[in-house]
Structure 1
Amino acid sequence: MSTASTQPQNNTPDGLLALSSIPQRALVRTLLVAHQDRANPAKWVHLLAAEFGGPVGMRMNHLAMLLKAGTPVADALEQTPGILAPSGLMAIRLASETGTLSETYEALISDQGLESESTDSSWRNPRSEFTRVLFGFIVAWFILSFMMIFIMPTFEKMFEEFGLELPPITIALISVSRRGGEFFFFGIAIFAMMLLGRLFFFGEKRPQRFNPFRWHERFVPPAVNLLSLLAIVVGSGRPIASGLETLSKCHHIPQTRRRLAASCERVERGEDPWATLASEKILTTRESQALSVAASSDVQAWLLQWLAESRFDRRSVRRHLLTQAISLASLFLLAAVVAWVCIAIFLVLTSLIGALA
């Protein structure tokens, strides 16, 4: 558990807001230094763009132009698509309104929460284990494919020349391998078509969904990030209604924006804000009740941070268990196929030796 979750008086956002992309972390660090020096970060962002180059550098140059023209940092970031993760944009927008920019910048570039993701032995990071299993599966599959493509046809010809019959288990293996090969290449073709279609015709980014091709970057579900953002609002001492209004305008998921807007309307009518969030399925009933009876905004901020970490931990456990199940199923499947091939080849060899004896 983070340090913020053990000290209720600390209103700094928890480590779940930390960015994992190197260019984004470098940009936020630059903005932090400029904010501490009370200087316009346009020149520093322009120099940073030269360090990265490519599309990232182009986006940073665009941001530098906006900052040089006097555009506020939060507005300039929002007017530069892809410059930061949506959670980072919302955090900076909230921080600019709550006066907690320094704390939010530090939270976005914090190493807290990222250490466990870089440790192979951590239960938070099943990717290394899954990668090892997948690599072993692919190597074994190539070996088995080589045997089925080059070795088994040779055995078939030898048995035909000697007028012998192949064992039934070997015949079944050859039949399945031929059919499996047809379906395998057909599946590869379909997957390639879907991937190309996704790249060329459906290029819109979906930051609210997990992308398996970007496993080097940490993915925190939007529902978890929302709790961390609410902790910024509550910890700053602002009314929760104003924070909900801001999030209802800048949240990147339309459905969540609608829920937040509906909650704002109910709060304006005098309803309890935490109860409205529960009715909109943003919080559970027990979570809203706990926040309603909290003695102060500091305690509420601590509870929101703790709830965010708890949700993220539960998701990590589920992902770990799912990865373990997939890895175990893959190993069992591979073991069954290897056993089948070994038995089939062993029977072929014993039949040949018996016929030649």
Structure 2
Amino acid sequence: MRPLDPYRSVKAALGALVIVSVTITTLLVFVAIHTDTELRIVTIFSIIATMLITQFVAHGLTSPLDEMKTVARAMANGDYSRRVRAERRDELGDLAATFNHMAADLEAVDRHRKELVANVSHELRTPIAGLRGVLENVVDGVSKADPETMRTALRQTERLGRLVETLLDLSRLDNGVVPLRARRFEVWPYLSGVLREANMAAAAVGQNGRGARGRTDVHLHLDVSPPELAAYADAERLHQVVANLVDNAVKHSPPHGRVTLRARRGAGAGSLELEVLDEGPGIPESERHRIFERFNRGCVSTPHGPGSDGGTGLGLAIARWAVDLHGGSIGVAESARGCRIRVTLPGRTQDQG
């Protein structure tokens, strides 16, 4: 333990320094009076004692700052694993705890940056390698540029385009350049339109034979109560949320399964509660806090349906950021079967008028 660790305030430590110095000086004066010691000798001893105590206290005050300086230099060189001791109970102890929190955040950001680069490189390499292989076969005469070969190349190009588009969405959301254009709208026609688009996209993809994204065997069901329910949100951003959640639910549904999109009135004016339920394997409780992380595909690595690529692991991350943009919440709710994702949007706030 350092000299000043027990103190709850630097002011208290400095006050103790003054009291001890005065006490020692007073005692030396009494000793001088009763022993006929010369005043200059008493003065010299008082100065020496005061300097020793001051040095003792100064070491206690500056040692945590020196430690922070050392750790900061290590962080500047890329080492974010270092921490300072936060045992003191005074202002410097609070500063040390805040410093450690900042260091942990920087370490997490650095780790996330490295993972992001590695994952993006991996995700981009896969469709590029597939597209390159198809084109090389056509150029070398191994395969002809028939419709089937071109469809294979198109699938890889579309996958690459989806990945780039989702990365751009995340970049805009992270940088705060996505404006929130909230308005009032009727929930039933809006959500039915989203599901209709999902059905049309699945049918079109299925006709071209492009894998699990084209699953038409899963039934999409809409449940809005009351039917005249209205909400206040950014329709475009909410479309991203619903489309990604429905797409994720479809990919993990069993053959001829059912995905239900449920909408209910929230607690506030214009607020909305959405739930997307599927009949898939569900999400283990230990994985629920990670499913909204970027590039996280969960423990169910092989969704139902042939030829699935498993997705990029970005859809739920985009859904979370879009919900956060509204000031709402998204998470996994308890469900007796399959997975249930619940979204809560606050609606019109007082600041929005």
TM-score, structure 1 as length reference: 0.23
**Which structure dedicates a bigger proportion of its chain to helix?**
1
Q: Larger strand proportion, structure 1 or 2?
A: 2
TM (normalized to structure 2)? 0.24
